[in-house]
Amino acid sequence: MSRRLLIIEDDPGLQKQMKWCFDGIDISLADKRDAALAELRRLDPQVVTLDLGLPPDPGGASEGFALLKTILELRPRTKVIVITGREEREHAARAIGMGACDFYQKPLDADTLNFVVNRAFRLDELEQENRRLSRHDASPLAGIIATSPEMLATCQYVEKIAGADITTLILGETGTGKEVIARAIHGLSDRAQAPFVAINCAAIPENLLESELFGYEKGAFTGANRQKQGKVEAATGGTLFLDEIGDMPVALQSKMLRFLQERVIERVGGHDSIPVDVRVICATHQDLGDMIGQGSFREDLYYRIAEMVIELPPLRDRQGDAVVLANAFVGQFSEQLKKNVKGLADDAVSAINCYRWPGNVREMENRLKRAVLMADGPYITASDLQLSDAPDQQAKPEALNLRQVREKAESQAIRQALLLSGNNVAAAARSLGVTRPTLYSMMEKYGLKGH
């Protein structure tokens, strides 16, 4: 990325002198407040040098300080180097206190100024790199932030199956990231360059869903003035994501089944069978087993779409992920909304850990976006998050007795050890410091499986 510097200086002689000081930097000049703010928006400089003595107060520093405050409000990450007159050391201290990154005392010396400005660019680049690395650390797959053993195991599984053309069913509560996982599978597959086409079966009226999926021929129904391709064909070569498959009407389920078995479609009002090459991924938050029992979902379709099943745990069952996600969202929204929010206050961390997150990651995303927008200080507090209205009754320690607490912790530790050992009981027992028979009896108690 190019280095961009905005020089705010009202003396034309000094402007010229400064302009020739720097190599390999895009430079823009401004001599007063309005021009400076316009350039700030246009150039989006990483570094600004700001002469404190600007009109209408060239002999004082009031306009300079006011402008410093505005710049840091508009672009909190800007590195501002304040330039002061000879006798103005106290101004320098005040400017640093307000958030300027450095100061420089006149008279100007090209080498020193170059050094100070380059150091500010370097600082900015290091900060950016840090942000990038901290994001990357917690991101096992594109678009996914997670550090919990539960999600890391899921991501490993996704990497394994992505390359094979297996029809996959993704299960999970609302907002757990079913679509993100579907996109990650597509992105890791050989089909990544071809389209990813999503269709939400719950959002389209029953009578339109068939033509949305399979397309229609001219004259198929009133208003069908020309032939139209459906979503299945649009995904040719790529991936079709059938979201909320549990909401697909039973009549259409049999057409879907035929497509999955024979890999051909018929447009509505058409007679030709058109072969289509797509990979299918389905998702639902509903219990398809229950629906099969009630006759509202076809069992044979279930077995077709569930060649592989990925179950996304609710956020409250992902150890440690809530705070990791919250931090990542703070960073993301702080940057996006141009706020200078640095992180979470301690009481916010406790509030996040105690809350049930019924809307899972989507709720987390929305709440943190609002909190970052509303935050007055550099840290998000519990009250910014407004989680108190719906506290997690089940997570409250007083709701559990000691035996329940112990059993919950025990079963969680065992589940984690099994996950990390790939369900190898001997290895899990070793890591837990118990014998194999002990572990077996505990697994039986908690209904866990291994081999």
Ligand X SMILES: Nc1ncnc2c1ncn2[C@@H]1O[C@H](COP(=O)(O)OP(=O)(O)OP(=O)(O)O)[C@@H](O)[C@H]1O
Binders of ligand X among residues 248 to 307 (CB under 6 A) are 285
* CB-neighbour burial class of residue 325 (10 A; exposed 0-12, middle 13-18, buried 19+): buried
Query: Count residues contacting Mg ion (CB under 5 A)?
Result: 1
State which residue, 92 or 145, has the beta carbon closest to ligand X.
145
**Integer Cα distance of 7 and 374 in angstroms:** 32
- Helix/strand/coil for 199: strand
Does residue 180 belong to the site contacting ligand X (CB under 6 A)?
Answer: yes
Helix, strand, coil percent values for the chain (each to nearest 5): 50, 15, 35
E strands, 254-353, are 264-265, 274-275, 279-284, 308-311, 343-344
Does residue 361 belong to the site contacting ligand X (CB under 6 A)?
Answer: yes
| From the list ligand X, Mg ion, none, partner contacted by residue 384 (C-beta under 5 to 8 A by kind) | none
**Integer Cα distance of 33 and 36 in angstroms:** 5
Pairing of strands 274-275, 264-265: antiparallel
State which residue, 144 or 278, has the beta carbon closest to ligand X.
144
Residue from 8, 145, 235, 439 in contact with ligand X (CB under 6 A): 145
Q: 145 and 139 in contact (C-beta within 8 Å)?
A: yes
Does residue 175 belong to the site contacting ligand X (CB under 6 A)?
Answer: yes
Does residue 186 belong to the site contacting ligand X (CB under 6 A)?
Answer: no
Does residue 313 belong to the site contacting ligand X (CB under 6 A)?
Answer: no
Query: Count residues contacting ligand X (CB under 6 A)?
Result: 15
Backbone angles phi, psi at 24, to 5 degrees: 65, 25
Does residue 10 belong to the site contacting Mg ion (CB under 5 A)?
Answer: no
Which structure tokens are listed for 231?
A: 């979503």
Residue from 179, 266, 317, 407 in contact with Mg ion (CB under 5 A): 179
Does residue 94 belong to the site contacting ligand X (CB under 6 A)?
Answer: no
| From the list Mg ion, ligand X, none, partner contacted by residue 174 (C-beta under 5 to 8 A by kind) | ligand X
Does residue 173 belong to the site contacting Mg ion (CB under 5 A)?
Answer: no
**Integer Cα distance of 55 and 63 in angstroms:** 7
**Which among 41-49, 172-180, 209-217, 407-415 is the span making contact with ligand X, rule CB under 6 A?**
172-180
Does residue 380 belong to the site contacting ligand X (CB under 6 A)?
Answer: no
Q: Which residues bind ligand X (CB under 6 A)?
A: 144-146, 172, 174-180, 285, 361-362, 365
